[in-house]
Amino acid sequence: MLENDIRTSVKAALEEDLGYQAIPSHTDSNDEAIKRTESDITAQLIPADRHAQASLITREEGVFCGKAWAEQVFNQLGGEVALHWHVDDGDLVVPNQLLCELSGPARDILTGERTAMNFIQTLSGTATLTKKYVDKIASTHTKLLDTRKTIPGMRTAQKYAVTCGGGKNHRIGLFDAFLIKENHIMACGGIGKAIEKARELHSDKLVEVEVESILELQQALEAGSDIIMLDNFDITMMLEAVELNNRLADSEQAKLEVSGNVTIDTIADFAKTGVDYISVGALTKHLQALDLSLRLKS
């Protein structure tokens, strides 16, 4: 799924930048690759036979992510630009560190640089922010989860970046696990009925229920939810939830997830309550892109 998404998202990004409708990647020809570069009217100022070298650096510290996306950019531009990497996804980087050396047709390098850097800066921003949150709860057993609050079209990419920053993935989409929320509960006629129906439909899928009170927590535990999301619980309620869950036999316990009001300042206190997971939408929607620079060598 990720490999397919990389090809698709890079193709869309190049079409967005070059202003024409490319043929599907699996039938691309050399002529199509050339046409892409020629769509960059500024790159046409440079002789077609001019070769160049370039260096990609970061201007700030962070966690690097995005190699496969950058490589796919230049592959779709014809594959004549060689990339020599000095980092891997998940590596910590510092200001002015060399990330990659590029060599090949100058036109191709300059046509692809911004698209490649856009992917790297965004995914590195996601990975960097994730690590900051992970570091805050490193002394606890609580795991950091992402959410579906991702940039449209970048779901699998950002979730990959979260793992590079040390986080874990929640469900990928609406197809791989149940997340029964307030409106689902109301429409189904209660927590117990919603969980029962979920088990009937897909007995192999994880069932998670979002609860807003201790009473709803008890109902979700009695109905056998695999995971229970404690929505906007305060610390006192979190502690009570953990205690109630721990009173049950191991086979009857659920995993507890905290969601809502989680910030870089509150996450450590939330984790100390003993919950299993904390999900944070900010990882993929409040990120700050990593500052990068590509320098062409004469």
Nearest to 289 by CA among 43, 129, 174, 125: 125
Establish whether 243 is a catalytic residue: no
Consecutive H or E run containing 98: strand 97-105
**Residues 6 or more apart from 151 whose CB is under 8 A from it?**
122, 158, 284, 285
Burial environment of residue 255 by CB neighbours within 10 A (0 to 12, 13 to 18, 19 or more): middle
What is the distance between the alpha carbons of residues 18 and 112, in angstroms, rounded to a whole number? 10
**Residues 6 or more apart from 187 whose CB is under 8 A from it?**
none
Q: In this structure, are residues 140 and 81 in contact, taking their beta carbons and an 8 Å threshold? A: no
**Residues 6 or more apart from 110 whose CB is under 8 A from it?**
40, 42, 43, 46, 296
Establish whether 132 is a catalytic residue: no
Q: Of the listed 7, 35, 132, 149, which one is catalytic?
A: 149
Establish whether 265 is a catalytic residue: no
Q: Of the listed 226, 231, 240, 291, which one is catalytic?
A: 231
Establish whether 31 is a catalytic residue: no
Establish whether 135 is a catalytic residue: no
Angle at 168 between CA 138 and CA 214, to 5 degrees: 80
Q: Of the listed 50, 61, 88, 114, which one is catalytic?
A: 114
Q: Of the listed 7, 148, 168, 181, which one is catalytic?
A: 181
Burial environment of residue 184 by CB neighbours within 10 A (0 to 12, 13 to 18, 19 or more): middle
Which residues are known to be catalytic?
114, 149, 181, 210, 231
